[in-house]
Amino acid sequence: MTWDKLEKTCQTCRKCSLSDSRNNTVFGIGNRTAEILFIGEAPGEQEDLRGEPFVGRAGKLLDNMLSVIDLNRSNIYISNIIKCRPPSNRDPLHVEQDACIAYLYEQIALLQPKIIVCLGRIAAQKIIDKNFKISKEHGHWYECFDVPTMALYHPAALLRDPRRKPDTFLDLKELQRKIQEICERTYL
Ligand code: URA
């Protein structure tokens, strides 16, 4: 498999009914040789219109969160659990996640990240543990695909409840510590 082949296959995917209502698939963005992979939930309205992950308000906050620890869209890769927008931004159904997750697994196989960061409960429950409790287990390290993996609060959750921002700042600093410990590149 190659990145280009995978992206083309994903763009014309009809594996679930979200393909009927999408404007664009949202494959992923960033550096295809990155050491750090961020995984969100699903595209929202803006993402569906642009074909790019995290371009709405939550995306702006994500960019700010990344900049706290000297990351940006050119030194990480960003993808989602599912690649098409669920109607009215509802949670993706299990059947939709199961239909789509193979694309993310292929992305992980191509990227071979050294660190994975799940954004929010839906991504953490699919990648880390189906019973993952985001309020208790954010910022902790787990091993997924043989790679250290942690979850942060989803930026949309931080917009809804800014009282969670101090915890997220500490989680970002812990992520930065891990990056300095195991990544080969320098992020300054
Ligand atoms: N929320 C997500 O989880 N992913 C996006 O791409 C946009 C918003």
Please state the atom number of ligand 1 nearest to the C-alpha of residue 58.
8
Reduced to 3 DSSP states, what percent helix, strand and coil does the chain have, rounded to the nearest 5? 50, 15, 40
- Asked whether the beta carbons of 100 and 16 are under 8 A apart, the reply is yes
| pLDDT (tens digit per residue) in 22-36 | 999 999 999 999 999
| Cβ 65 vs Cβ 172: under 8 Å | yes
At 91-126, the pLDDT tens digits run 999 999 999 999 999 999 999 999 999 999 999 999
Q: What is the pLDDT of residue 187?
A: 87
Closest-CA residue, ligand 1 atom 7, reads 54
- Ligand 1: does its nearest atom lie under 6 Å from the Cβ of 58? yes
What structural domains does the chain harbor?
3-179 (3.40.470.10)
Q: Does the pLDDT of residue 89 top 90, yes or no?
A: no
Q: Which of 131, 126, 151 is nearest to 141 (CA)?
A: 151
For residue 178, report the distance from its CA to the centre of ligand 1, in Å.
Answer: 24
The answer on pLDDT for 188 being more than 80 is no
Question: What residue owns the CA closest to ligand 1's atom 6?
Answer: 53
pTM: 0.98
Would the CB of 28 count as within 6 Å of ligand 1?
no
CA of 143 to the centre of ligand 1 (A): 23
